Structure 1
């Protein structure tokens, strides 16, 4: 029978009902109170009343806790002393009655809990409750909370949970700080569902905890990636009027950033500043990185400036995220400036930062700087990763620096970091420029180094043989793939199909296609387009319908592939036929199909038909995307219909469609071709306003346009601006500048 915690006076039960310690053995010195084995009173035949005498003596010292403790310390050293649970609990209740002996309570409990053979948490809690009622102690949860804390301290978390639950069963409420300690320990051990269960039991009793409780709960949600739950805990605490701290805001900011709600994250940062808190470096870093991932580079830069103005430094994580953003937008020069700033500030870059910058420089063709960074990284003792070597190899390819690429590959091989991707880059490069024999030699070197060729390696070799028209060699590579147990993919088969068509051997092309279908590979769009192109070039257009019936499912995607193929071959009659058939079988063309048709008519300078399709899209409520607007505007500009083109551009902006570099290039090219240099310059400024770096091609168009109009000063200013933005002029740029100077000089001489 459970004894209620609030019963003050209950008769002492018979001796045989008293609970006892069950064989607790310890080597703890006597001064620590539990040196010996503890035996049940029932097993002691001699001196049967000894325990009653101890209890009686302790009760006489009930109002003198220190005397009770001294008595216990003396008696426990006597030979034959048996320590029972009721003796311990009575002593604990006496000692907990005054602050002077609270430390002794904690010491007794710590030693008791530390023992491996101590009774269960439930037993000791219920014995304490029974003792409280039996001997008339005032209601006080202190000793229970000390017991709970002791279990947590010695890492007996399961016993602590049992203690917690038993306390609640008897309406003994754990203190919030100790509950927090237990919840923290449970979360660290991934007992998160159990922790929530305990917390819910407290909430049922109207106890929600404090701000630290909120921290623990939200961190548990983050650990389980339940970000919305973390936010819910935060909002509920806020709604209850709990006084939140900066740490709570920091945790919820992390949660909302993980689910990419950047508007809310920025709003929370604003609230923190309104409360007079400076968000921590970690909090700013979390939001800035999230902005970078979402592509919101403008907000990332604003937060970085705010972070610095708050007295915080730009750390590597923030710098890396911003550098990546700069490079993605083509602003490599700004990324390099930021790199110089952090290095001057004493920050040592890691390989991730070097990787971002080397990749960025390689993409824009600034191989001198890319290799300089590579060298700097090695001087810092950072071993280059294969990915960095591969970035450089791709950059050398773009600049046609084959010898540099070979030198780098040899170095990577010596360092042991060259991988199959490194070789694949060079294999593809060599095959693309027709150096198939050299590619085969490189293949032998690769396999000689113990690097196993991938399917991409084989596909590259097939590409090279096909490019040279050596179809037997190409087909033999397919056999090698199969012999090695690899599975050819759609790219493998499409390369061979295209190669046979180009050789005029449509029969073998279809043999390969049938092999592809037999291998259960669904022909993708580019395969279908290759076949259509091949059939048309060999005068076998009628076979396309048979192919559609035999191999291809009649859906919008496959019709779209066929239509796109005919449009690219400028066979708009066949494209229109399949477009009509698509409608007849009850399918609805999507934006991709419309874009193919519009592009096809535009290439034939049939802008009337292209604009009619645009109107059909509007009528059928099919959204026009950026690609369609780019096609239409480019076509109208080509025909000199500037007003109509600019109207469409305004319509596009009104719909919230953001122009990209391709659109800007088309606009600037069209305007320059018709002498609208002022409007072209406005578009260039608009690009700057949208933080989009103009390409080399755009600058070439503007420079050429200004030369044509005799604006030499503006042309050279644009050239300087181009350099300032970190762009590398190409051969076309210098051709324009040189030819422009010659043209002007000739004109002046004639004058």
Structure 2
């Protein structure tokens, strides 16, 4: 502290200009008389009368504390006496009170005073720093005030101000403790101010001789967060030369950095390096590697790390299992998810909200609503209160699989739990209502959103637009599209694609193409889905030349076609009764590395059957080794019936039954109508009776 005071006295001349509001020569006679009366009351331990304190100004306040500097009791009594009043401090009077409170070990009260000082309107960092240093020199007080000043700036998240105060102290040749330095660096790192943290270390802190392992760990974290883990490792080596050696926290930070970047092998190398220095890996070390493998989709490697942990006597924690659960959920492996959940519980680890969000999410995703609800109930039995994320997952699962009424009940339960229902949850409900064609209810829900201060986003409008497009109400959808833009919700490629699909469904290809051109004008690039939708629309309209013009445009823009687009073009050829060109296009697909799927073959078979070319179907099946599925059988039976070839239809029906496929109602409808058209009522009634035996009620389609 002595060396600090020597440096502060160096600035005595600098502070002389600030002395205007201190020392008795600058005080008026009335101020001096007031100060004496206050000191007289304090020395006799009399209560401080508010009327007595009313005329007090900041200069007199500072002078009273200066006179009482040898009695902490009197100083504190004076400060506390004015605490409940509306006394207006100056930076200097604040600084004087802060010094007294720090000396009295009332750190929290001192921090409150510092907060008031730094938030005071019009107070600059220069004024604050110089006031603190002035009082420090006058009072001979504790230099911990400087540390507390920096720490309070950081805790108040005033990082730029903290750095400015830090640099001002350096300019005045006054340094704070290494703990305050670490506090500032740590605060900058936690909030992502990486470049500023590097600058402060490089220009102010790095040359100090009292750096410690905490400084090392903070800077390793700073450099790793900045995306340069190699630089962080070099920094560790440099610090070792200065006699500051890394601990397991340092190595854990490096390992986490490498694993986050996907360089898990490097992470392993760092772990082995730590072990070579007799630093045993802990659960955090292994968790970083588990998370890294899970992020990279290498689940089996992550499980092997789990086994290595157990072999080395390191017990996995909830974070370990949560990482594995999240990856299992992403892989849609419900069996593995439940096994991990059970293992976690059997080891005495309490599942948290993240655990339940994963296990509930997997069953919501695959449509097992009973298991989803079961885990939701189990979570509540364990005393965990569901949060917004859990409720949104539940609502999404219920809506996706048609249980919209239950989703609405969950919405009400969410409100009862005090969760703020955000636009994501509302959009899930809207999607469910629209999928059930409950469009009027969807609009009522939008009105309720607005009443509760939740405003529709572009996703809300896209859901409603999609719903109207599916119903063929494209003009209503277009009005919503324009409303969306008027409200400064700029549609993205998804919204445009939905509207393009709507126009294609009703055959208005000109308006669909206009939208594509509008996308270009608005700097929204049409994607594979845009082109695929348009090409499918042209194929449905029999305009293959237009479809292939888009095919060429797509290729010019570097967008590679997929199997969906190729199937649309094959369908276009078949609808135009041109199966030969469809077969040639099949070879063109293959030359581009696109292999046909069942839809490709079924489309071709449907085309051949329309042409009554059964031989071509047989040739295709043999040449391509096509395995006939239920859809293929249905297509062939229907086409045989339409062409009056009932013997072939019955033969195909018997083959389908032999292959173990269950016929749908449409198969019986085709067979019955085919036999009725040939006035073969006995066969028609035979299939009618079989249809009824299989649980299909007859309708008016035959």
Could you state the TM-score of these two structures normalised by the residue count of structure 1? 0.50
Contact 1:362/1:395 (<8 A) preserved: yes
- Structure 1, unmatched stretches of 5+, are 1-17, 26-36, 38-76, 78-106, 108-113, 121-146, 167-177, 581-590, 608-634, 642-665, 670-706, 710-751
User: Is 1:603 aligned to residue 589 of structure 2?
Assistant: no
Following superposition, the deviation at residue 359 of structure 1 comes to: 0.5
Q: Distance in 2 between matches of 1:386 and 1:328?
A: 20
* Other-structure match for 2:665: none
Q: Distance in 2 between matches of 1:348 and 1:285?
A: 17
User: Is 1:193 aligned to residue 196 of structure 2?
Assistant: no
Contact 2:221/2:253 (<8 A) preserved: yes
SS in structure 1 at match of 2:363: helix
Q: 1:490-514 CA distances to partner (integer Å, 9 max, x unpaired)?
A: 4444333333333334344445555
Following superposition, the deviation at residue 179 of structure 1 comes to: 9.6
* Other-structure match for 1:256: 258
Distance 1:149 1:287, change over 3 A: farther
Distance 1:162 1:461, change over 3 A: closer
Q: 1:326-362 CA distances to partner (integer Å, 9 max, x unpaired)?
A: 2223333333343344445554433222111110121
Contact 1:289/1:321 (<8 A) preserved: yes
Distance 1:184 1:164, change over 3 A: farther
Q: 1:295-338 CA distances to partner (integer Å, 9 max, x unpaired)?
A: 23233223333334444433222221121122223333333343
Contact 2:505/2:537 (<8 A) preserved: yes
Distance 1:426 1:213, change over 3 A: closer
Q: Distance in 2 between matches of 1:484 and 1:404?
A: 32
Q: 1:478-537 CA distances to partner (integer Å, 9 max, x unpaired)?
A: 344345454344444433333333333434444555555555543322222222222222
* Other-structure match for 2:592: 594
SS in structure 1 at match of 2:332: coil
User: Is 1:478 aligned to residue 478 of structure 2?
Assistant: no
Contact 2:224/2:254 (<8 A) preserved: no
Provide the aligned C-alpha RMSD in A. 5.3
* Other-structure match for 2:42: none
Residue 499 of structure 1 is aligned with which of 502, 505, 511?
Answer: 502
Worse-matched range after superposition: 348-357 or 466-475:
466-475
Q: Distance in 2 between matches of 1:478 and 1:575?
A: 41
Contact 2:567/2:599 (<8 A) preserved: no
Distance 1:299 1:519, change over 3 A: closer
* Other-structure match for 2:642: none
Q: Distance in 2 between matches of 1:265 and 1:294?
A: 13
Distance 1:115 1:545, change over 3 A: closer
Q: Distance in 2 between matches of 1:117 and 1:404?
A: 67
Contact 1:151/1:157 (<8 A) preserved: no
User: Is 1:373 aligned to residue 370 of structure 2?
Assistant: no
Distance 1:150 1:593, change over 3 A: farther
Q: 1:394-430 CA distances to partner (integer Å, 9 max, x unpaired)?
A: 3234543343223223323444543333333343334
Distance 1:592 1:198, change over 3 A: farther
Distance 1:164 1:244, change over 3 A: farther
Distance 1:162 1:220, change over 3 A: farther
Instruction: Please list, as runs of the form range in 1=range in 2, the aligned pairs for 1:511-550 lying within 5 A after superposition.
Output: 511-513=514-516, 516=519, 519-544=522-547
User: Is 1:565 aligned to residue 556 of structure 2?
Assistant: no
* Other-structure match for 2:430: 427
* Other-structure match for 2:403: 401
Instruction: Please list, as runs of the form range in 1=range in 2, the aligned pairs for 1:70-89 lying within 5 A after superposition.
Output: none
* Other-structure match for 1:232: 234
Distance 1:211 1:445, change over 3 A: closer
Residue 223 of structure 2 is aligned with which of 204, 214, 221?
Answer: 221
SS in structure 2 at match of 1:557: coil
* Other-structure match for 2:301: 299
Q: Distance in 2 between matches of 1:434 and 1:159?
A: 67
Q: Distance in 1 between matches of 2:411 and 2:263?
A: 44
Contact 1:431/1:464 (<8 A) preserved: yes
Distance 1:21 1:425, change over 3 A: closer
Structure with more relative contact order (C-alpha pairs < 8 Å, separation 6 or more):
1
Q: Distance in 1 between matches of 2:226 and 2:261?
A: 13
Following superposition, the deviation at residue 193 of structure 1 comes to: 3.2
Q: Distance in 2 between matches of 1:529 and 1:543?
A: 12
Contact 1:218/1:252 (<8 A) preserved: yes
Distance 1:20 1:195, change over 3 A: closer
Contact 1:22/1:119 (<8 A) preserved: no
Instruction: Please list, as runs of the form range in 1=range in 2, the aligned pairs for 1:545-694 lying within 5 A after superposition.
Output: 555-558=556-559, 560-561=560-561, 565-570=565-570, 573=581, 594-596=592-594, 598-599=595-596, 603=600, 639-640=624-625
SS in structure 2 at match of 1:569: helix
Q: 1:672-701 CA distances to partner (integer Å, 9 max, x unpaired)?
A: xxxxxxxxxxxxxxxxxxxxxxxxxxxxxx
- Structure 2, unmatched stretches of 5+, are 1-8, 17-22, 24-69, 71-102, 104-131, 151-164, 189-196, 574-580, 605-619, 630-657, 661-702
Q: Distance in 2 between matches of 1:372 and 1:638?
A: 50
Could you state the TM-score of these two structures normalised by the residue count of structure 2? 0.53
Following superposition, the deviation at residue 231 of structure 1 comes to: 0.9
Residue 287 of structure 2 is aligned with which of 279, 285, 288?
Answer: 285
Following superposition, the deviation at residue 392 of structure 1 comes to: 2.0
Q: Distance in 1 between matches of 2:278 and 2:311?
A: 15
Q: Distance in 1 between matches of 2:234 and 2:211?
A: 16
Contact 1:362/1:370 (<8 A) preserved: yes
Contact 1:529/1:564 (<8 A) preserved: yes
Contact 2:399/2:433 (<8 A) preserved: no
Q: Distance in 2 between matches of 1:19 and 1:556?
A: 71
Instruction: Please list, as runs of the form range in 1=range in 2, the aligned pairs for 1:380-399 lying within 5 A after superposition.
Output: 380-399=382-401
Contact 1:24/1:118 (<8 A) preserved: no
Following superposition, the deviation at residue 252 of structure 1 comes to: 3.1
Q: Distance in 1 between matches of 2:200 and 2:360?
A: 49
Instruction: Please list, as runs of the form range in 1=range in 2, the aligned pairs for 1:16-27 lying within 5 A after superposition.
Output: none
Q: Distance in 1 between matches of 2:11 and 2:481?
A: 81
Distance 1:375 1:222, change over 3 A: same
Size of the aligned set, in residue pairs, is 467
Q: Distance in 2 between matches of 1:417 and 1:149?
A: 43
Q: Distance in 1 between matches of 2:288 and 2:562?
A: 47
Contact 1:148/1:163 (<8 A) preserved: no
Q: 1:542-572 CA distances to partner (integer Å, 9 max, x unpaired)?
A: 33466689xx5872435x4599735533158
